[in-house]
Amino acid sequence: MSTFSAPKGTYDLIPPDSADFLAVREAISAPLRRAGYGYVETPGFEQVELFARGVGASTDIVTKEMYTLTTKGGDELALRPEGTASVLRAALQANLHRGALPVKLWYSGSYYRYERPQAGRYRHFSQVGAEALGAEDPALDAELIILAVDAHRSLGLRNVRLLLNSLGDAACRPAYRAALQDFLRGLDLDEATRERIEINPLRVLDDKREAVQRQLTGAPLMRDHLCEGCAAYHEQVRTLLTAAGVAFEDDARLVRGLDYYTRTTFEFVHDGLGAQSAVGGGGRYDGLSEMIGGPALPSVGWALGVDRTVLALRAEGVTLPTPSPTDVYAVPVGEEARGVLFGVLTELRRAGVAADFAYGGRGLKNAMKSAGRSGARYALVLGERDLAEGVVQLKDLHSGEQAPVALSSAVAEIRAKLS
C-alpha cells in the first residue's frame, strides 16, 4: 500500500468503474457532435479575475470555493471551478466570434471547488459541457436542452426531471431586483446574507439553508416581472420543447448558482440522489462576453455532471453495456512460439482487433485461466508442434471448440469471425 492517498474530496477512476464514466462522456457528447458542436479544451487554471467577473464576485464559488495560487511571477491563478467562462475566453481569444455564428462548442474535463465532501459533491469533479455563442434565438436554447435530454435517454435514464425558468434581461430585471431587495431586507438574515442582498439578491433565493428558505415564502418572482420580450422569448422555448416531446416543470425560483445567467435557465434533477439532486443545468448568458472584456455576444450553454449522471444510473439500477477490452488472448508455449505469436498479436492490433498476451512466461494452464478471465472471445495458442506445421490453434472460449488455422491467414480469419 502507498504512503499517499487521494486528497480529501477527490477520487481515482479505475477499472471497472471507469468504464461507466467513459460511457457517460461518450453518450453526452454524441448528440452534440451530431448537431455540429466542435470540441474545445482549455487550461486547468485561469486568471482569478476571469471567474470573479464572469461567475460573480458574490457567489459561493468565488468567495469560498475556488482553489487559488500565486505563481513565482506574481500572477493570481485559480483552478477552473466551471467551464463556461474559460470556453468563452478561448473563443474570444481565437476570434471565433468573427466567423459564422453561432459558434458551437463542447468540452469535457475536470473542475475544482473547495466544498464539503459528501455523496455526489466532490472537490474534483468531471463535466461535459456545451456552449452556443453569438446568437439570441429560442430555438438554440431548445436545441441544447433537447440534446441533453437525448443524452439522458440514450443512457437509459428515465427519472431525470427538467426544471425551467426565465431570469429576464437588462430591461426587466432591475425592477425585479429592487422589489426582491425590498422584500429580503425585511427578513431575519445573517450579516453575510444581508451583504449579498445588496450585491446580487438572486443569490439569496439560491440559498439552500432551511432557515433561509422558510422566510422566502411570498418572495416576489421573476416571472411576474418579465418584460414583453422576455415573456415571449420564454414561451417560444416552452413551445419548442413541448413540440419535441420534452417534458418540463416550470420553477419560478430556479436561479442556479452563477451570476451570468439571463432569460432561459434550466436544471436537470434526479430525486434518487438525495440532497445533491442536480445532475446538470445551464441557461442563457447574454452579457457574459462584455463582463470579461469582449463584444456583445449572446450565448447559451449547459454542463452535465459525469459523476452525478453515474450516480443517477446506479440509483435507477441501469447497467451500461461494457464491451470486453479484449477480443483475442494469445498464449505461446515455448520461446520460439512466443516471438512468432507476439508478431501475430501486433498484426491483430494494427488490424483493429483488441488483443492481449500471456506475459511473464506462465504455463499453459495458468495462461488459459487468464484468457478466460480477460473476457476474450477467442484464444490463440501456439506451440512448437504448431510452429512446425505452420498453424496456430484458435479456441472459441464461449463454446470450447478449437481448430487449427494457418499462421499466414490467422489475422484475416479472426477478423472475419469477429465481424
User: Rounded to whole angstroms, how far apart are CA atoms 8 and 362?
Assistant: 40
Q: How far is CA 411 from CA 336, 351, 372, in A?
A: 19, 8, 20
Q: How many Cα atoms are found within 13 Å in the side-chain-facing hemisphere of 419?
A: 8
Nine-digit cell at 42? Answer: 482549455
Ligand-binding annotation for 177, yes or no, is no
> Does the annotation flag 84 for ligand binding?
yes
Find out whether 329 is annotated in a ligand binding site.
no
Asked if 281 and 267 touch (Cβ cutoff 8 Å), the reply is yes
Q: Which residue bears the cell 468504464? A: 19
233 is in an annotated binding site: no
* Rounded Cα distance, 1 and 144, in Å: 45
Omega prior to 81 cis, within 30 of 0: no
Cell of 376: 476474450
- The answer on whether 261 is annotated among ligand-binding residues is yes
Handedness of CA 313, 315, 319, 325 (dihedral sign): positive
Residues 6+ apart with CB under 8 A from 97: 91, 103, 133, 134, 289, 294, 295, 297
Annotated binding site: 82-84, 113, 127, 131, 256, 260-261
Annotated binding site for L-histidine: 82-84, 113, 127, 131, 256, 260-261
